[in-house]
Amino acid sequence: MEHLFDQDWEIVPAGGATGEAFFAQYQEQRLFLKRNSSPFLAVLSAEGITPKLVWTKRLENGDVITAQHWLNGRELKPVEMKEDRVARLLKKIHTSKPLLTMLERLGTEPFQPDHMLTELETSLEFDLLTLPDVKKAMRFLQDGLDEVRQGEYVVCHGDVNHNNWLLSEQNQLYLIDWDGAMIADPAFDVGLLLYWYIPEDQWEDWLLQYGTELTDSLKLRMKWYVVAQTILFMQWHKAKGRFHEMNHWIEYLHKII
């Protein structure tokens, strides 16, 4: 990265799973750099969903480096996920035609619930598959598949954890870390957010701010995706040897199923 800048720039890794993100600073100038981020980032920036894209450079080896404003700010606290501005920004994302057009141009196929169920049926380890709650959950997923197929398809973030919501010092809210972007049923995002952060007796009010009603169809689709994701989390943590986290998701599945 250093050869992109004069020697006076300080460049340090930003952490993260990929190791492709960096912070760069020179006096008062501060940038967030990422290697080989998707062209989708330009549209996210133009729509005001992520911090402003400053420039894009292609290196001789073919890598593409993007630079965004590095903002002072903080991630949202779990309790702040109830706020109206979270609902409004998620709705803006789900109804954005430029975002959908760009993902389609990049060749993104709609995420089908059938594929998610097939992955669970074929890859789930036997000792998890034999748990009573997992058996019950798998029957729920199989029985509800036809109804879930009826969902619409929009741009979804795929990981609406509070850690991915950035509130700047100027009180501007952003949703960051778009590596898992997909074209999917909005119930994928909305379900995880409501189940994780919003008491059920407040769902209707939150959804009014989002701009929709809590119908029986939406309730089923949200639960379907949350149950499927929970089982995938169990499997992922087990494969990593993170048994404490695996047990957390086993207990969570018991609560929601």
Q: Given this model, what pLDDT does residue 71 score?
A: 76
The residue ranges of the chain whose pLDDT is under 50 are: none
The string of pLDDT tens digits covering residues 53-105 is 888 887 778 888 888 777 778 999 999 999 999 999 999 999 999 999 999 99
Q: Given this model, what pLDDT does residue 54 score?
A: 84
DSSP letters spanning the chain: -GGGS-TT-EEEE--SSSS-EEEEEETTEEEEEEES--THHHHHHHTTSSSPEEEEEE-TTS-EEEEEE---EEEPPGGGGGSHHHHHHHHHHHT-HHHHHHHHHTTPPBPPHHHHHHHHHHHS-HHHHTSHHHHHHHHHHHHHHHHHTT---EEE-S---GGGEEEETTS-EEE---TT-EEE-THHHHHHHHHHHS-GGGHHHHHHHHT----HHHHHHHHHHHHHHHHHHHHHHHHTT-HHHHHHHHHHHHHH-
The whole model's pTM is what? 0.87
The residues annotated as belonging to the active site are: 159
